[in-house]
Amino acid sequence: AVLAAVALLAADPPETVQSSREQAALEELAASLSFSENQLTFVIPESYPDVEKWNIHIAGRQEYSDGFSSSVHYLEDVAYEAGQKYVILEDYGQDNHGYGQSTYSELTLTASFSGLSEESPELRVDLVPYLNAPRPDRSAEIPVPLSELPTALYGTFEPDWENDTVWLLARLPEEEVYVYGLNVNSNGRGVFVRWRESTYYAESWHYITPRQILPQAACGDYDGDGEQELALSFCIDSGTGVSVADLHIFERAPDGTLTSRQFERGEYLSLVNEALSWEHDQTAAAVTAYVDGHSTLLSLDPQLTGEFDGLAVNGSMVTFELSGPQPGAVFGINTLYEDGPYLIYCGELRADVRYEDGAFSMENFTVIPY
């Protein structure tokens, strides 16, 4: 079950039949929220036919893999109908803005009613946990028979993009882990994972970019519970000044069911930029970066002009390393100038990724100058 931040707000509402009707309708609306098939949806309750009274506002901030972000609003000026399903997001994560794969750092649904007293109830729902919740296994829907899965690793032969339907992208034979990419739609999406007798199919995951960087795979007891987890990292965006990977941790239940948790972009950017501070030396082309109580001097390009606006990790350079006992993360540190170029790096910030009880955190931050 998704533990979303759902709140029904009322300032001492009068004990009237009308108020209870509205509150029941809001609760029914909240219960109808669902994320499946890559769609985030809700249903207008049939029990409340006065659809003209609904005030529903859906807004947030969308973050792109090249570091850009934008405010978003959904389903504005909609004439709602009782009993109808409405789609907030479709093809979540699809690159449809030209800025790369996207996530949401904020997304909130607010619902209330017009024509009532100021003390009428209001619903507020944080929608981000719905998007981040573990996806159910859909292995039965893989469009390739298991008997036809390849055994040759991608990169050891010339792929046939016209006729190949599936490629083996990564493997850990000693752990019986095999990671496949589907070529059904020729869009670099669709990952199928086999871990011993367990399987997992994520039809929307990116697995390849034009640079064709293959995914990483590793097993370890990352949360210290005595059981092995599977870590996968895919390169999901690449280009000039941009290289972005993601990180997924799989856990296997006693019955063999696999669940996956992704280290979301909004999560790691918040942690990194909270840990990083800086001090600019205006007399020299340098800036001091501070993390975990340590300082590192970073050189600035003397040819860049304009007012120096600081350091930041905007997420346009993100790598996860799976060779150690815990995953590692590497982020490019951007130098910001007023009216200056956007993707200029002066160093990298490294950290250990911790995983516990399905949640991610980071520690042991260090800065490496370029």
For residues 147 and 17, the model is more confident at 147
- Comparing 327 with 105, which gets the higher pLDDT? 327
Task: Please report, as a single letter, which amino acid is at residue 300.
Answer: L
pLDDT over 70 (residue 191) = yes
Q: Which of 108-122, 319-333, 349-363 is predicted with the least confidence, judged by mean pLDDT?
A: 108-122
Percent of the chain with pLDDT over 70: 84
Amino acid (one-letter) located at 335: T
pLDDT recorded at residue 348: 95
Q: Does residue 225 carry a pLDDT above 80?
A: yes
Mean pLDDT of the chain: 84
What does residue 36 show for φ and ψ, rounded to 5 degrees?
-155, 160
Q: What is the pLDDT of residues 101-157, one digit of tens each?
A: 457 889 999 999 987 766 778 899 999 888 877 665 566 667 677 778 888 999 888
Most confident listed range (31-40, 183-192, 238-247): 238-247
Residue 49: per-residue pLDDT:
86
H or E element, residue 27: helix 17-32
Q: Give φ, ψ of 10 to 5 degrees.
A: -155, 135
What pLDDT score does 328 carry?
97
The model's pLDDT over 241-259, given as tens digits with 9 standing for 90+, comes to 889 999 999 999 998 889 9
- The HSE-up count of residue 63 (CA atoms within 13 Å, CB side) is 20
- Please name which of 308, 316, 276 lies closest in space to residue 295, comparing C-alpha atoms: 276
Q: What is the pLDDT of residue 74?
A: 95
What does the pLDDT read at residue 184?
Answer: 66
Largest CA distance in the chain: 72
- Total-model pTM: 0.69
Residue with more model confidence, 219 or 165: 219
pLDDT grade for 15, boundaries at 50, 70 and 90: very low
Closest CA to 62 of 97, 109, 110, 111: 97
